[in-house]
Structure 1
Amino acid sequence: MNENSDRSTHQKGIQLTRALKSRHIFMLSLGGVIGTGLFMGSGVTINQGGPVGAILAYLVAGFLMYLVMVCLGELSVQMPVSGSFQTHATKYIGPATGFMIGWVYWMSWATTVGLEFTAAGMLMTRWFPTVPIWYWSALFVVVLFGINAMATRAFGEAEYWFSGIKVAAILGFIVVGVLVIFGVMPLSSGAPAPMATNLIGDSLFPNGLSAVFAVMMTVVYAFQGCEIMGVAAGETDQPEKSIPRAVRNVVFRVLIFYVLAIIVLSAIVPWQQAGLMESPFVQVFDMVGIPYAADLMNFVILTAILSVGNSGLYASTRILWAMSKTGMAPKSLSPLSKRGVPLRALSITLCFALVSLMTSFVAADTLFMVLMAVSGMSGTVTWIVIALAQYKFRKAYLRDGGKLSDLKYRAPWFPVLPLMCITLCCSLFVFLALDETQRPSLYWGFGFIALCYGAYFLIHRKRQGVLAPSLPTV
């Protein structure tokens, strides 16, 4: 009895550590955003939307990301907790919505992490064709578990360098691309410098303006992951300084990286050929004749995949742990290790990631498709919840006599900004509904959301004491 009491007292003394610095938060957010959506998916976007259409789509998606980031920035500075928008939604929208978005977001990232293990294993076969994919997948499972099980500061450093490799690769690509566009670096084929020929040679929108709307969901999906910044707020040193700086830096740099990279790709690679066989980044290096271009980009894409998996595993683990603290997930997941890491929540998340990995082989046409549909929609639903939570927080704050000057960081243009964010996100569902190939994802996605709401009202409404968390002080 006394031993159990001592263990309980010791556990209460262990908390998440505020060990992440501003540079960690910045790179962690970049790690969630810059991934295969840019390195692989951008080619398909250019091919379907056309060169100018792709640039326009990325600009619109980047603006939407800005709206989300400033809304989340205000909430995260005022309430720097690891539950992030799940905690914010619980407090200001309602416990049912907090329960729903927590489980949807957790399942989405856990599913995505499982896919990253498969993708990473497939990339390794380029160098080791005789080694089975699952060997590499198992190795990366152990590596990412080890990184996430380390102290928070060590995790932040690992992700800092993961993301740094991606950023360096993109900057190098942009420099090479600009030199090619203006003829400073010749094409290996001897063709003249492309200049703006590929951008506007076949009209601004060769597949029509409707094609631009059709690729919007894909482009927005590439930007999702920026909200990890809010999840990391609970382990951030001086969140009132780190979070606003991260908002500014992430939005500015992601827009530059994405938009400049897309402009360079669209100018060099004809839109009819983009993304049909390989990464458009590899296509550009091959066109220039840079030795070992495919191997170089294979390494960069592998790093990008592991970085996204690392960030996603961190975010989903913290969300699950935060829900366990308020009774929205099993209480048994709440203990922390001596390093202040929720190892049980991490282990459960990784187990689900492995299950999603296996369903891609044994139930590809059934359960796996459902998981992918929910995962694809969850990011947009999360952005809507973030904007709505900020709208309701500001309303409640002003109603209770709070002064705007007392907010250490506040989103501009209230209430237009959050309402605009919600409207733009909802319009994406309209685009999905109009596309017959993507329409089933709406059914499965909203079906899972309804299931989460139903589970809350059937289970948690009968319990006493499952309340919205109190507002933390900064």
Structure 2
Amino acid sequence: MSTTATASPTGEMQRGLKNRHLQLIAIGGAIGTGLFLGSGKLISVSGPAIIFVYMVIGFFVFFIMRALGELLLSNLNYHTFGDIAKDMLGPWAGFFVSWNYWFSWVIACVADIIAITAYVQWFNPEIPNWLPALITAGVLLVLNLQPVKYFGETEFWFAILKIVAILGLIAVGVILVLTGFTSPDGTQASFANLWEHGGMFPMGASGFVLGFQMGIFSFIGVEMVGTAAAETENPRKTLPKAINSIVLRILIFYVGALAIIMSVTPWNMIDADKSPFVTTLALAGFGLAAAAIQLVVLTSAASSANGGLYSGTRMLFGLSKDGHAPKSFSLTDSRGVPKRAVFFTSVFLFAAIPLLFAGDGVVAAFTFVSSMCATMILFTWGSIVVSYIVYLKRYPERHAESKFKLPLARFAPWLVLAFFVFIAGTLLYGEDTRPPFLATPFWFVLLAILWQLRKRKLQREGRPLTAAIPLPDTQD
């Protein structure tokens, strides 16, 4: 492999993302496959109660992101969650958090590619399974080999497309409700559909609790803004704006969109195996619009996979800089792209192709993978919260000087950790989510073994257990 365009192992990534990129990455990260595809399964499990599920999860996600924002801005030398974890909790935590986040995005990307295959076949069932998966993996590889500004531009337009589609769906839905539209099968659009088919909690407390299982997966990616901040111009100005807009995004894109969908189409008529965004328009007789939304759903999955590959490669880059992964993964080319980290992570995306021949239950596979991702993301988010608790005790002066403090800083982190225990209980409670939840600890056992091997190797070579994090600059 030619190395003419490769910088030294100490090469750094560039701050090539602008404010508009970060804002749209923040929005796009919260609108992924979990919302477009997984919400159908969630509605079938919880009914209209899913609206309250998203409100509750969004409430806690806001506190997680505010904690992350304060941590990142307390020292602009933090580039990833792994940097924060190793500085606050120790080298082992950086190893665990970074590899766990990398792996969670690898399997999430595989799930997205499988979902893309299903979406493509909606248009033409004759297309072989492996073809869209192969093309998608190849395109994602090429996109992530470009400078970060091109990643930002791609995600910017992906996010614009998703935003326009959802806002368009909400507008059409409101018009249908206000005009009392009646679908060809005799169903009338009305806000009363939210409570006239068994009430807001038709499945009782059990259905409400089960809604949290896949609901948490819908928010995986919202933390991507923290990874992107390391390559953003003027993060002190752009990061707070992106994080503070989370509440509004959740209210519009989750609560608003699903409330309108269930007003146009009663929740008990929504197919759990299909995207409710598509079936709602199809039921209302808007076949062309349904096809357009299906195309948006497809690009949304591509956007999620693209962002996941980006986040995964940046984690791998950080692991290499810490000595926790092969040194070659920290090499960047003249444009600041960690090419070897991109190639290594991309290899795993092609694993989606053989998985397509293992069975035909896309939603079942999606549920399994999303549940495993949910367990892993709890660990990632948990590391942010625990790191914040340590930061508060160790650096009270940084907290006092911070211009972007976590609200209820002494109380909120413990409340969030209690919520994580609740989520773990819901994953263990559900029949679909119990197997992947119980399988995930084996991954952490493997990480523990790998950490011991890596630690001993570093000690034998007389190298530090991790790279040091420089102190904040005085202008910070």
TM-score (norm 2): 0.90
Q: After superposition, what is the alpha-carbon deviation per residue over 1:353-411, rounded to whole angstroms, capped at 9, x for unaligned?
A: 2235434535999x99997664341112111111111111121111xxx2544223221
Cα gap change, 1:7/1:456 in structure 2, threshold over 3 Å: closer, same or farther?
A: same
After superposition, residues 33-112 of structure 1 pair within 5 angstroms as 33-51=30-48, 53-80=49-76, 83-112=79-108
- The separation in 2 between residues aligned to 1:411 and 1:369, in whole angstroms, is 33
Shift of 1:137: 1.8
Equivalent residues of 2:114, 2:133 under 8 A apart: yes
Q: Is the 8 A contact 1:199 1:267 kept in 2?
A: no
Q: Does 1:377 align with 2:358?
A: no
* Residue among 150, 153, 161 paired with 2:149: 153
Distance 1:461 1:157, change over 3 A: same
2: CA distance, partners of 1:218 / 1:253: 19
- Of the three residues 137, 144, 153, the one matched with 1:141 is 137
Unaligned runs of 5+ in 2: none
- Residue among 202, 206, 211 paired with 1:215: 211
CA contact (8 A) 1:82 1:322 kept: no
Distance 1:159 1:107, change over 3 A: same
Matches within 5 A, 1:11-410: 11=8, 14-51=11-48, 53-80=49-76, 83-183=79-179, 187-189=183-185, 191-355=187-351, 357-359=353-355, 361=357, 374-398=372-396, 402-410=397-405
Question: C-alpha displacement at 1:281, in angstroms?
Answer: 1.4
Whether the 8 Å contact between 2:109 and 2:305 is mirrored in structure 1 is yes
1:49-73 per-residue CA deviation (whole Å, 9 max, x = no partner) reads 121x111111111112111110111
Q: 1:372 to 1:289 in 2, by over 3 A?
A: closer
Residues 251/313 of structure 1: CA separation in 2 closer, same or farther (3 Å cut):
farther
Report how far residue 81 of structure 1 moved. 5.2
Mapping 1:425-464, distance limit 5 Å: 425-461=420-456, 463-464=458-459
C-alpha distance after superposition, 1:218-244 (max 9, x if no partner): 111111111111111110101111110
Unaligned runs of 5+ in 1: none
Aligned-partner Cα distance in 1 for 2:113–2:297: 13
Counterpart CA distance in 2 for 1:12 and 1:97 is 23
Q: Do 2:109 and 2:349's aligned partners in 1 also have CA atoms closer than 8 Å? A: yes
RMSD: 2.6
In the alignment, is the contact (CA less than 8 A) between 1:35 and 1:308 conserved in 2? yes
CA deviation vs aligned residue, 1:52-110 (integer Å, no higher than 9, x gap): x1111111111121111101111122234574111111110122122112111111111
Contact 1:120-1:302 at 8 Å conserved across structures: yes
Q: 1:156 to 1:49 in 2, by over 3 A?
A: same
Deviates more, 1:210-219 or 1:313-322: 210-219
Q: Distance in 1 between matches of 2:272 and 2:398?
A: 54
Matched AA of 1:410: K
- Between stretches 279-288 and 260-269, larger displacement belongs to 279-288
Q: 1:44 to 1:362 in 2, by over 3 A?
A: closer
Instruction: Report the alpha carbon displacement of residue 151 of structure 1 after superposing the two structures with TM.
Output: 1.2
2:17 counterpart SS class: coil
Structure 2 residue matching 1:150: 3-state secondary structure: coil
Q: Following TM superposition, by how much is the alpha carbon of 1:304 offset from its aligned partner in structure 2, in angstroms?
A: 0.3
Distance 1:453 1:360, change over 3 A: farther
1:140-185 deviation per Cα after TM superposition (whole angstroms, max 9, x unaligned): 2222122111111111011100111001000011111111222265
Deviation (angstroms), 1:122:
2.9
CA 1:104–1:359: 2 relative to 1, 3 Å: farther
SS at match of 2:316: helix
Q: Tell me which amino acid in the other structure corresponds to 1:28.
A: I
Q: Deviations over 1:295-350 (max 9, x none)?
A: 11211111101100110010000001111000111112110011100010000000
Mark the CA change 1:148 to 1:196 in structure 2 (over 3 Å): closer, same or farther: same
The answer as to whether partners of 1:46 and 1:271 remain within 8 angstroms in 2 is: yes
Asked whether the equivalents of residues 104 and 374 of structure 1 are also in contact (C-alpha less than 8 Å), the reply is no
Provide the C-alpha distance between the structure 2 equivalents of 1:471 and 1:255, rounded to a whole number of angstroms.
Answer: 39
Number of residue pairs matched by the alignment: 464
In the alignment, the residues of structure 2 paired with residue 207 and residue 13 of structure 1 have an alpha-carbon distance, to the nearest angstrom, of 56
Verify the 8 A CA contact 1:67 1:417 in the aligned structure 2: yes
Q: Report deviation, 1:432.
A: 2.0
**Inter-partner Cα distance in structure 1 for 2:471 and 2:228:** 15
